[in-house]
Amino acid sequence: MAIEGFDYKAFAQNLTQQALELVPQEFNNVQKQYVANTLLNFSTVAGEALYNDTELHFNADTAVMITQIIAEWSFHKSVDLIRSGIPQQYWDPIMQKIAFTIFEVAKQAFRQNLPQDQILQLIEHHVRKTYVESIAELKAKNLITEELQERASKMSNIDDMMQQAAAQEQAAQQAAAQQAAGGVPHGQALPQPAQGGVPQQQGTQPKIFKLATLAMLFRQMKADKVQTILNKFQPDDAASVIRFMEMDDLGDKVDPRLALNCLQEIKMSMPKTKDITPSKLIQRIQNISQYVDRAQMEQILKLERQRVKRFVFNALEGEFYEIAPRIGNIIASHIEDSV
């Protein structure tokens, strides 16, 4: 019996459209189309198989979850293959192995009613394993060099995006701290962004440029995190940032070089974080656990990446999950702000 309420074709198309907005800008049209087509093909095939399956009896939510997992990993690993330098004729066979692995592992895991975190961790393990083994197989057949094998095996777009998101949040948190500490003057009148947009040249009101730059940054972040940061702003400044965020053509009205200068100025004006050691990060996470139980912690981390969850829950057990200390510091600060 078909799964009621599961329009796999429309869902696959929607996922593909979302992915097109995230394809690396340095990719040419052929590379961008490969990523999109790979994601669309695998998510459509998986969705159709689940839709027509007569044995598993999955509901629409489970079918959506499995299809989305396949789409996301298809995106990340196709990006990795393109960036790796591996010849294009080997991309499809590797991607087919990865998609098949995800589908089979996901079906068995959901059939066994494993916890969602465990399912995602299991799939991530098998995806990385299949990817590395597929590249090693190319080297064993002398189809690629050892140098290319090593470079390709280290590619991880999902980790790169996670680090980028963490860096963006850190910059926003630093800007909020600077604003709260008076690093940006509060007394001057602000130009209204609804009238004429943002000036293109740096003049006598640097504050408005910083607020506009922050608005551009906040557009890439989750709404709840943005609100947490804006709560630390002066009311009139927060209102200006929100108005900037609502401007459709904000990116066209702010000089990119000026925006980068503003971010650099914010970063340089903040005190450097020192002595971020694994033991201190573990202690911070364990201190937070005194105020929230595991269920509340899982709710806070519900939308976070699997590696973020693993870092936090390992820390609760007194173990340090290998992650860059600066990223661990951002995660700890985010959880502290959320409690």
pLDDT tens for 90-126 read: 999 999 999 999 999 999 899 888 888 888 888 988 9
Task: At 10, list the tokens.
Answer: 């429309």
Using an 8 Å Cβ cutoff, are 48 and 88 in contact? no
Q: What is the pLDDT of residues 211-227, one digit of tens each?
A: 777 777 777 776 767 77
pLDDT at position 199, please? 44
User: For helices 157-180 and 223-230, what crossing angle results, to 10°?
Assistant: 20
Q: What is the pLDDT of residues 249-285, one digit of tens each?
A: 776 666 666 666 666 666 555 545 456 788 888 888 8
Distance of alpha carbon 56 from alpha carbon 270, whole angstroms: 55
Residue 327 pLDDT more than 80?
A: no
Distance of alpha carbon 132 from alpha carbon 162, whole angstroms: 20
Using an 8 Å Cβ cutoff, are 70 and 41 in contact? no
Q: What is the pLDDT of residues 117-148, one digit of tens each?
A: 888 888 988 999 999 999 999 999 999 999 99
Nearest to 318 by CA among 291, 275, 288, 279: 279
Distance of alpha carbon 118 from alpha carbon 65, whole angstroms: 14
The secondary structure of the chain in percent helix, strand, coil, rounded to multiples of 5, reads 70, 0, 30
Distance of alpha carbon 282 from alpha carbon 105, whole angstroms: 32
Looking at the whole model, is its pTM more than 0.75?
no
> 3-class SS at 276?
coil
